[in-house]
Amino acid sequence: MPQEYNATDSRTGLHLTIRGEFPSDPDERVRIARTANLFTRLFSTILATESDPERHERFRAIETQLEVADALIRGDVREVQRLMRDTLRQVGVSDEQLAQVEQELRRQLEAFGAEVPGELRKMLFPDEDVELGEADDREEPDRGDPNP
């Protein structure tokens, strides 16, 4: 039998019900409750927006962010990249500007000598051939003796 969680926004009275089979782990049930409450508050805030264009923009923004979150959770790096690029294009960032940002980010990371995990490199630099979970095979920079 499905279980139910009800969330109500105290400011607007908006009420959401989530019905399904929930895990028995109390920590996971707390996560469900917190996420449902957050979503209810967010949805209520958007619906309370008086300006139609502003409300539509807020809906589009949260839809995109939820799509990104879903793609990240599924580990779909290509979808995350597509969504991020589409979002940046919608706000007026050109492909040339994206390339410049990517180039500058690479330069900054190299300047700091930062080792970037494969998963992050794959998202930041989609043109590199890096498999998710693959160990970084670049040499570790010599940072000197940590215990002089």
Residue 108 is predicted with a pLDDT of 81
Amino acid at 120: L
Residue 53 is predicted with a pLDDT of 95
The Cα–Cα gap between 3 and 9 comes to 20
pLDDT tens, position by position, 47-65: 999 999 999 999 998 999 9
Sort strands 15-20 and 3-8 into parallel, antiparallel or unpaired.
Answer: antiparallel
Q: Taking CA 81 as the corner, what is the angle to CA 44 and CA 52, rounded to the nearest 5 degrees?
A: 30
- pTM above the 0.95 mark? no
* Residue in the structure block whose two tokens are 């790096």: 77
pLDDT tens over the chain, length 148 residues: 789 999 999 999 999 999 999 999 999 999 999 999 999 999 999 999 999 999 999 999 899 999 999 999 998 888 988 898 888 888 899 989 988 988 888 788 777 766 666 666 666 666 665 444 433 443 444 444 444 4
